[in-house]
C-alpha cells in the first residue's frame, strides 16, 4: 500500500512539473529532459507512468475535468452554473488546471488532440441541458447541442480575457455576469428566479468543493495505509 501511495505521488509530481514547463515554454518547445529535471525523477519513473510527451500532455489536459462529483440540484440547469463556477474556482487556484487550459488553447501544440477537453465539456453541458429540456426547464426554441457549444465558447473567451486583464482575479465575477445574461435566454421564466448565479453562491460552492476534496484525500490516505 505504501508503494501504491508513492506511485500516486510520483505521478502527480510528474504531471505538475510537466504542466509548469508546458505553461512556460509551450508544448512543442518542451523536452522530456526539462520535465525530468523539474520533477526530480528518473526517466524510468516517468516512462512507468507516461509513455511519451504526448501522453503527458493528455494527462495535463484531463485535469480540466471535475475531480469531485457535483451535488445533484432540484433544478437541473443549476448544475450547468455549478460546473462553470467550479471551473472558475479551480482556474484561480490550481496550477495544473491553469496549465491544462493553457495547453488546450496552445495553437502550437499541433501534435496533440486539443479537441478532447473542449468536446468533453460540451458533452457534459449537453447532458445537463438534455435532462433540463426533458423536465421542461428550457424555453421551447433551445437547441441542446448548439447551446452547449455556445456556452463553452463564451466561457473560454471570458476566462481568457480575465487571465489577460488581471490574472483571473475577477473570474468569478465575470462568470456570474455571463450566467446572468445567458440563463434568461434559455430558462423558463418560472424557474429563472430559482437559479443561484451570484459570486457569493460561487464562493460557498468553492468552499464545499475544497472540503469534499479534503475528505476524499483523507479517506484515500486511510485506505492506502490499511
pTM (two decimals)? 0.84
Cα separation, 38 vs 6, in Å, equals 18
pLDDT value at residue 221: 60
Give the residue extent of every domain in the chain: 2-62, 64-225
pLDDT digits (tens, 9 = 90+) for 112-124: 777 877 888 899 9
Those residues with Cβ within 8 angstroms of residue 133's Cβ, 6 or more apart along the chain or in another chain: 142, 144
pLDDT digits (tens, 9 = 90+) for 66-89: 666 778 899 999 999 999 999 999
pLDDT value at residue 222: 60
pLDDT value at residue 144: 96
Q: How many CA atoms lie within 13 A of 5 on its CB side?
A: 12
pLDDT value at residue 101: 83
**Under DSSP, is residue 142 helix (H, G, I), strand (E, B) or coil?**
coil
pLDDT value at residue 50: 87
**Beta pairing partners, 193:** none
Q: What is the architecture of the domain spanning 2-62?
A: Orthogonal Bundle (1.10)
Residues of the chain whose pLDDT is less than 70? 1-5, 64, 66-68, 217-226
What would the grid cell of residue 3 be?
508503494
**Beta pairing partners, 14:** none
Q: Does domain 64-225 have CATH number 1.10.357.10?
A: yes
**Beta pairing partners, 187:** 138
pLDDT value at residue 67: 67
Angle, helix 95-104 to helix 53-61, in steps of 10 degrees: 110
Q: How many CA atoms lie within 13 A of 136 on its CB side?
A: 3
Quickly count: other Cβ atoms within 10 Å of residue 114's Cβ: 19
pLDDT value at residue 81: 97
Cα separation, 222 vs 179, in Å, equals 39
Alpha helices by DSSP H, the chain: 2-25, 32-39, 43-49, 53-61, 78-93, 95-104, 115-134, 144-166, 171-182, 189-192, 199-225
pLDDT value at residue 68: 67
Amino acid at each position: 500500500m505504501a508503494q501504491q501511495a508513492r506511485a500516486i505521488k510520483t505521478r502527480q509530481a510528474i504531471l505538475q512539473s510537466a504542466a509548469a514547463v508546458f505553461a512556460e515554454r509551450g508544448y512543442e518547445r518542451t523536452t522530456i529532459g526539462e520535465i525530468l529535471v523539474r520533477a526530480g525523477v528518473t526517466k524510468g519513473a516517468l516512462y512507468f507512468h507516461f509513455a511519451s510527451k504526448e501522453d503527458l500532455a493528455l494527462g495535463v489536459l484531463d485535469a480540466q475535468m471535475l475531480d469531485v462529483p457535483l451535488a445533484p440540484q432540484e433544478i437541473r440547469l443549476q448544475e450547468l452554473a455549478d460546473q462553470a463556477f467550479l471551473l472558475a474556482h479551480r482556474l484561480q487556484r490550481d496550477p495544473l488546471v491553469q496549465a491544462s487550459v493553457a495547453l488546450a488553447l496552445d495553437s502550437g501544440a499541433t501534435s496533440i488532440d486539443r479537441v478532447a477537453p473542449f468536446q468533453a465539456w460540451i458533452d457534459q453541458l449537453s447532458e445537463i441541458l438534455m435532462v433540463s429540456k426533458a423536465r421542461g426547464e428550457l424555453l421551447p426554441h433551445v437547441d441542446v447541442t448548439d447551446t452547449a457549444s455556445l456556452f463553452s465558447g463564451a466561457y473560454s473567451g471570458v476566462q481568457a480575457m480575465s487571465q489577460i486583464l488581471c490574472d483571473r482575479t475577477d473570474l468569478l465575477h465575470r462568470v456570474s455576469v455571463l450566467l446572468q445574461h445567458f440563463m434568461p435566454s434559455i430558462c423558463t421564466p418560472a424557474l429563472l428566479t430559482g437559479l443561484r448565479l451570484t459570486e457569493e453562491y460561487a464562493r460557498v460552492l468553492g468552499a464545499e468543493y475544497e472540503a469534499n476534496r479534503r475528505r476524499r484525500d483523507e479517506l484515500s490516505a486511510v485506505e492506502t495505509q490499511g
